[in-house]
Amino acid sequence: MKKVVLYLGIAVLCLSFTSNETEKTAPKLVIGLVIDQMRYDYLTRYSDRYSENGFKRLLKNGFSLENAHYNLIPTYTAVGHASIYTGTTPNNHGIISNNWYDKFLKETIYCVDDADFKTVGNSGTSGKKSPKRMFTSTLADQLKLHQNSKGKSIGIAIKDRSAILPAGHSANGAYWFDGGKEGKFITSSYYMNSLPDWVNKFNSSGKADDYLSKPWETLFPLASYTKSITDNNKFEGLFKGEVAPIFPHNIPKLRSKNGNYSLLKNIPEGNTYTIDFTKAAILGEKLGTSEHTDFLAVSFSSTDYIGHQFGPASVEIEDTYLKLDRDIADFLTFLDKNVGKDNYTVFLTADHAAVHVPSYLQSLKIPAQYFNTKELENSIKAITQKYFNSTELLENVSNYQIFLNKEKIEALNFTKDQVAERVVSELENLDGIYKSVTAKTLQTTSFAKGLMNSLQNGYNQKLSGDVLLIPYPATLTRGKTGTSHGTGYSYDTHIPIIFYGKGIKKGVSRKRYEIIDIAPTISNLLRIEAPNSSTGRVIEEALVTEIHD
């Protein structure tokens, strides 16, 4: 009996020690920084003019993955953010695009729209949102579960989806920017019934107007931007009211024709404004100051808006990243002061990258093209007319997916698989289409690597279409200025991943890792369960092993 009591006493002491050690070694604040549309080569291309305390501080004192990729298609904002924080791909988490065709509702839906909730922060409709369409838990959700909801988790971004999806289902709050005539950060009644005082104070500060009151001028003399093509070129989009895409951009003059407060999204100060709000959140919510670990998911959206308009080779993109580097340096200094250098862990990555403007590539004789979706629809109808005597079997074409009308197909005594297989065999001959595959093939065949593996990871049996297509490299379905993303090619998938702070080693790895590896790695650092559908692996070489000793 004495031995039993002794063993029980030792067990209790061990459990107590383990719990205390976990609390002692875990960071007080975990921060995910996601840069919307950041190519990996932005880290290297502009490195000679980055400051010592921004990207370089993270690289020198953190652990950088130089060969990290997305292992899924499509590489869009909502998909990327969901995959980062769930540790899995759309076949599991269910966010298959930003917008997609709902074959049950027979309409196109948006990833975070939810009519069951209302806007908190103004009388508009921009806050009728929630994370309900994401099927799985996130890193932030798992931390909440582990700590019995005693830590806080918050998402922040200019884009609603970039704040909502990372913060997860159990967040204390998610905040995004409502532009137009509003110019304020708002939220949804999913999270709360009224904005906290610190948010109201920030919204009343006039910072948005301050940033829109100055022209967009380059950080350094314009002539020194040698990592970009000439400022005045035909490959870049224009602000409404401009006759050429050149510096300086007269933001005060352009404001009224470019969405008023929404113009803040399209200039580097949109990222600075996001940092300003993030600082206010840390102070207002007292993040990183309790005995529990708090979680903050921050996304920089302006890089994406600017990238779409001007493209990766532009002076505008170069200037945006040089200024973002200063913003990150300022934010790290703020964290040092207000949370403590040894009390936080940061990871930095991107939700996708981007292709060089195809018309620019064409000017260099590099293969690139533009694809016409309407021509694709007409080709599909011609196929179904020829083989099934009907042009009504096509229900929707979007996101390089084809949705067939099951009811009309069966009324003609055919099966959906028959029609899909015929469409695939014929579309292989269509200009612009590199590969096509039926949903049935993705359900019955396992692809271990390459584009088909990425397509399979992005295919959700419940939500996705009946035929999935892959275009040729450097193909866009837009006008000939600016750029986009969405494919499984390296220009869209190769992104930075940097871990920094408490529990992180200093170092570099050139091994291939995938975006879904972030969540299980941070989960392991925190000694919590990974998100419930996580399929990634722990990046052991990035972690300080002593933290578990």
Which residue numbers are catalytic?
77
Taking the alpha carbons at both ends of the chain, their separation in whole angstroms is 32
C-alpha 224: how far from its chain's center? 31
Query: HSE (CB half, 13 Å, CA atoms) of 76?
Result: 18
What φ, ψ does residue 346 adopt, rounded to 5°? -120, 140
Inter-residue contact 423 to 417 (CB < 8 Å): no
Beta strands in 420-518 (DSSP E): 433-438, 467-471, 475-476, 497-501, 507-514
Helix axes 77-86, 518-526, angle to 10 degrees: 30
* Segment (H or E) for 320: helix 315-338
* Segment (H or E) for 79: helix 77-86
**Cα torsion for 178, 211, 81, 541, to the nearest 10°?**
-160
Largest CA distance in the chain: 89
Inter-residue contact 415 to 31 (CB < 8 Å): no
Dihedral sign computed on CA atoms, order 349, 276, 112, 416: negative
Angle at 65 between CA 60 and CA 71, to 5 degrees: 160
Please give the single-letter amino acid code of residue 344: Y
- The owner of tokens 């300086």 is 248
- Taking the CB of residue 390, how many other CB atoms lie within 10 A of it? 17
3-state helix, strand, coil in the chain (%, to 5): 40, 20, 40
What φ, ψ does residue 204 adopt, rounded to 5°? -90, 0
Tell me the two tokens of residue 189. 């009644």
Nearest to 231 by CA among 221, 241, 506, 375: 221
Helix axes 302-310, 269-284, angle to 10 degrees: 170
